[in-house]
Structure 1
C-alpha cells in the first residue's frame, strides 16, 4: 500500500459530507448581481469571493476600488474568449528573500521555480500553455557574478526556458531592469476549451487532491535549518526532496484530464492545502469538509504538516459525486499521479477539518500580509 490510494479505500465507514464545517470566512466582496458560476460557464464580468486573511483583505479593497475597471477578478487566471476557446492569462512574481534565496537555489533553479509557479495557475484552469513572458530585476552591483561565473540573467532565463519547454510553451519576450535584489516576474498564457473556475463546486461534490503533500515544506524546513544549501553546506537534501522544492512540476496534464472529466472547481496548492481549500470554499459559496487522515503525505511528513505545506503546486479539485475510485485509477494510468479523495463539499460555509473524527482548527495558509 503506497499511502496515496483513494480515500474511499483508506477511510472506510465515513463520508466527509456528513462532517460539520466551521465558518472561518470573512465577508467577501462580489457584485450582488452575480453568484458563483459553474466551471465552463463562460467569462462573466464579476469578482469571486475570497477567503480570509490580510492579503485577501487588501485584494478585496483593491477590487472595490477598481469597480467597473476590473474584469472577472479573483481566480487563478484571467479568462478571455478567443474564437471558441478561452485564453487564460496569469502573472506571478518571485522576489529574492521572499520566495527564494540565492544560497539555497542556483540561478537556473530560480528561473525554473518562478516559471513553474506561474504555469501552475494554468494547470488549475485546465489550460494548455502556449507561452511565457518574463521581466527580470537584477542587482546592478554585479552581485552573483564573478570571474569564470556565468551571467545570472542568462542562467535564470535558461531555467525559465527549460520549465516552459517541459510543458510545450515558448518564451515570447519580457523586460530587463536594474533592481536592488533579484526578481523574476512571469506572465503565462494558455488556451482552455473548458476552463475550470474556483467557483463551480456544489454540495455533494467530492474533494480530491493530486500527488502527495508536504515535500516542499519538509525541504524548506531543512534549508532553514542550514541543511541542503548550495555547495553541500550543512549536509545534503535527498535528490527527490530537493527537486520537489527547487524544480516543481506544474500539473498541466492532470488539470486538463480533470477538466475533461467534469471538474467543477479547481485550485493549485500554493498557500497550503488548508488555506487554498478555504479559498475554493469561499469562491464557490459552499462548505468543504476534509478528513486529515486521508491526506496523502510525502514520506516522513505528518498529515498536519502536509495540510499547511505551501508551494506544493498539486491540484485540489471538486469532482461530481459520481466520480470515484475507477476515475482515480484512470487518472493514475493517464498521468502517473495518485488522485486521493480527502473530503467533500457541503451545504454549509467555510472549511472544516477533522482528525480522527475530531474537529480541529485549520492550519493557516501562507499570507504575505498576516494580521499582527
Structure 2
C-alpha cells in the first residue's frame, strides 16, 4: 500500500471522527475505516454518549471472512479496558482477523496508554503509529488537554465588526454578524461539551445558551455560569426547565439569602479561593470530563481569561460593518509597554459566510 493511500485512508478515519464531535460525552471522538484490497469496505465512529466505541461499531458490521486480512485505520489507540460487552477494543481487533492497524495518536488514559498497542502486537498484528499525528491531536485536542493540563481546551467566540468591536457602547449588538455566521456559531455550540458565560451576560441577553439548529438541539452543551456574587435569580430564562446535570453556577459567596434565590434544579459550586477562582473552575470542569469549553461572554471576563493565559483559541466572526469609537472592543487594556509584548495568534482556519469572515486563531 502506497504512502499516499495510507494518508488518504487515515484522513477518512479523521473525517468519521469529526462527525462525532460534541456527541460522545466523556469519551474521545474516534473514527476508523477498514481497508481490503485498497478499498474501504467499512467505516465507523464513536456512538452518541460514547458507547459503543468506533472499533466495536466497525467490527460488528462485518463477517469474519470480510475482516480477515484487512487493514484498520483508527484515529486513537484502541482501548485496553473492558467495556459493557466484556472485552476491550484492542482484544476485539486481536480476535477479528485484521492483519494490521494504523494509529494516529496514543491514548493518554492510563487504562489504555500503550497497553492497547501491546495487546495488538502480542496477537501478531502489525502496528503502525503516528500517522497524521498532528491532525489526530487537533481532532481530540480537548480530550488530550484534559490529561496534560487538567483543564478543558478553551475557545472564546466573538462576533466582531470589521474594526474589532463586539457591540455599541449602549450594549446593542444585534446583529453584528449575519445569519450564516450565527448558524455556524450554533454548530460550534453543538460540538462543544460545555458553554460558559457570566451573570453580566445573562442579565444583558437573558441567553439560553442552547444550540438552536434543527435536529441538533439535543446536543446543546452543558451550561456554565460564573456568578461570583450570586447576582442572578430564578426568573431568568436559563433556569427554566433545566436539570441539575445541565447547569452549573460557580460562585464565591457564602450569603445564604442569595443562595435561596436560585432554583434547586442547578448545581451550585462554591470556591472560597478568589485568587485562583478561574483555575479552580477549569480544574473542576476537567474532572467532570468537559473536553472542549466554549466561552461566550463580554469584554471584561474574556480579557481576564486571556490575561491569565487560560484561553487556547478565539473564533472570530468578523462582519463587514464598521463601528468606530462608538463601539466596545473585544479585549480590554492588556497593560502593554511595547509592540514586542503584544499577544500573537496563528490562523488555524478561515471561512467566508457571505460578507462575514470566520477566523479561528490559536495562541502561539
TM-score range, shorter chain: under 0.3
Report the structure number with the largest CA radius of gyration. 2
TM-score by length of 2: 0.22
- Structure with more relative contact order (C-alpha pairs < 8 Å, separation 6 or more): 1
TM-score by length of 1: 0.22
